[in-house]
């Protein structure tokens, strides 16, 4: 029996396609009431993981459950999990509403729900238009509408922001926050941290099928510090002077430079001047989440303005514990069609939705996760439907 918790558990999940280790020993948990971002560059293993979660690919090892059950044990899965995977096939000559009605009939749901979900995703005005003429973003919305038909407790979305314009991304953020705030579970993948950064509470970052970070996004943010990179005439003399000046977090980079955390450019310059050490260059390197994401997922990636140094990063800078260097490199683009109708604000559940039982404790380790506060209502969308 499924436990009704709305919890997703991925445990030591592994998938090999021949010699390709697509997913390696992946473990994480997604709690109801929260949004988890599943992040990694293209080819990292996100879709394969989600396909295993949805019973579409058989794991080489490990398991994934929803409500304590593998997908195949969910009875009426469409009412438990709404899922959107990549490359949705829509019949181009079918209207959006008819597409949804086909699914209503297959799932034993009243046709009325098709109109409801179109309204929820902002496609009510295009209900009778053929899907063949839809932009990528509109198809994303229609796929989401399809996933919502069964009023599921859990949403699993693969790259849902792909093809959405900035307004669409803002709408999706609010929609998912509101969906999670109603006590439901959201797992979304993305190859771009910036796309989902404001949407997610928890983050699982993978690269080449391996976990690079798993934890709260806020903790990841807090782990970041900027550093000063300085090129002195004499590395040893500068290191000694900095130490004597009470500055810790000094890390020679092995290429004649020194990385200093916890000090400003001016402080480093003053110490060098006092010690009589000439400086050939001083540069502040600001660490932001996006940089960290690239560092975590692609050791060889170098964006303009990001300097890579030979030595491992000092404490407090760069990836948090558990970081594994990867040689993977990808920086894809996506296009942004525009022109949507304003959708309904937030998720509105149909009558009769039952909150999952509270206080449920599963048989595995309780997670330190704390449910986020209900979101502030935002005004950025204008608010009409």
Ligand X SMILES: Nc1ncnc2c1ncn2[C@@H]1O[C@H](COP(=O)(O)OP(=O)(O)O)[C@@H](O)[C@H]1O
Positions in the binding site for ligand X (CB under 6 A): 17, 20, 22, 40, 42-48
Query: Residues 44-63 vs Mg ion: string with x where CB under 5 A?
Result: --xx----------------
Q: How far is the CB of 291 from Mg ion (least distance, A)?
A: 23
Nearest to Mg ion of 188, 242 (CB atom): 188
Q: Name the binder of 280 from ligand X, Mg ion, none, CB < 5-8 A by kind.
A: none
The CA angle 11-12-16, to the nearest 5 degrees, is 130
Nearest to Mg ion of 264, 331 (CB atom): 331
Nearest to ligand X of 88, 378 (CB atom): 88
Q: How far is the CB of 206 from Mg ion (least distance, A)?
A: 11
Nearest to ligand X of 20, 306 (CB atom): 20
In this structure, the number of other CB atoms found within 10 A of the CB of residue 168 comes to: 24
Q: Tokens 């959201």 — which residue?
A: 186
In this structure, the number of other CB atoms found within 10 A of the CB of residue 383 comes to: 11
195 three-state secondary structure: helix
Number of residues that bind Mg ion (CB under 5 A): 2
Q: Name the binder of 20 from Mg ion, ligand X, none, CB < 5-8 A by kind.
A: ligand X
Q: Is 146 in the site for Mg ion (CB under 5 A)?
A: no
Contact 174, 346 (CB under 8 A): yes
Q: How far is the CB of 131 from ligand X (least distance, A)?
A: 24
Query: Could you tell me the CA-to-CA distances from 126 to 102, 138, 175, 341 in Å, in that order?
Result: 17, 9, 19, 8
Q: What is the dihedral of CA 176, 188, 7, 55, to 10 degrees?
A: 130
Binding region for Mg ion (CB under 5 A) out of 43-51, 135-143, 166-174, 315-323? 43-51
Nearest to ligand X of 52, 96 (CB atom): 52
Specify burial of residue 222 (Cβ count, 10 A radius: 0-12, 13-18, 19+).
exposed
């Amino acid at each position: 029996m499924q436990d009704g918790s709305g919890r997703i558990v991925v445990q030591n999940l592994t998938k090999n396609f021949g010699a390709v280790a697509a997913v390696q020993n992946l473990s994480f948990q997604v709690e109801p009431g929260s949004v988890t971002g599943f992040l990694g560059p293209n080819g990292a293993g996100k879709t394969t993981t989600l396909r295993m979660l949805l019973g579409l690919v058989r794991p080489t090892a490990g398991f994934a459950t929803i409500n304590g059950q593998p997908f195949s044990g969910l009875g009426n899965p469409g009412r438990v999990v709404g899922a959107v995977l990549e490359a949705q096939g829509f019949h181009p000559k079918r209207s959006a509403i008819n597409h949804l009605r086909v699914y209503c009939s297959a799932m034993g749901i009243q046709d009325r729900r098709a109109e409801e979900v179109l309204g929820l995703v902002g496609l009510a005005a295009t209900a009778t238009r053929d899907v063949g003429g839809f932009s990528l973003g509109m198809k994303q919305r229609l796929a989401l509408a399809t996933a919502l038909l069964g009023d599921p407790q859990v949403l699993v979305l693969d790259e849902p922001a792909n093809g959405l314009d900035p307004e669409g991304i803002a709408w999706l953020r609010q929609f998912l926050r509101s969906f999670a705030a109603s006590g439901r579970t959201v797992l979304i993948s993305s190859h771009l941290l910036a796309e989902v950064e404001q949407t997610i509470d928890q983050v699982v970052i993978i690269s080449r099928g391996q976990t690079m970070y798993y934890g709260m996004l806020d903790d990841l943010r807090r782990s970041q510090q900027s550093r000063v990179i300085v090129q002195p005439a004499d590395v040893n003399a500068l290191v000694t002077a900095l130490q004597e000046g009470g500055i810790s977090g000094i890390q020679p980079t092995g290429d004649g430079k020194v990385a200093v955390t916890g000090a400003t450019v001016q402080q480093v310059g003053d110490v060098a001047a006092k010690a009589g050490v000439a400086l050939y260059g001083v540069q502040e390197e600001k660490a932001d989440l996006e940089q960290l994401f690239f560092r975590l997922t692609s050791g060889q990636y170098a964006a303009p303005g990001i300097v890579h140094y030979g030595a491992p990063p000092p404490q407090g800078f760069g990836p948090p514990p558990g970081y594994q260097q990867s040689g993977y490199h990808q920086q894809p683009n996506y296009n942004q069609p525009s022109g949507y109708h304003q959708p309904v604000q937030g998720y509105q559940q149909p009558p009769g939705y039952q909150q999952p039982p509270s206080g449920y404790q599963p048989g595995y380790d309780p997670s330190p996760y704390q449910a986020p506060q209900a979101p502030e209502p935002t005004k950025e969308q204008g608010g009409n439907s």
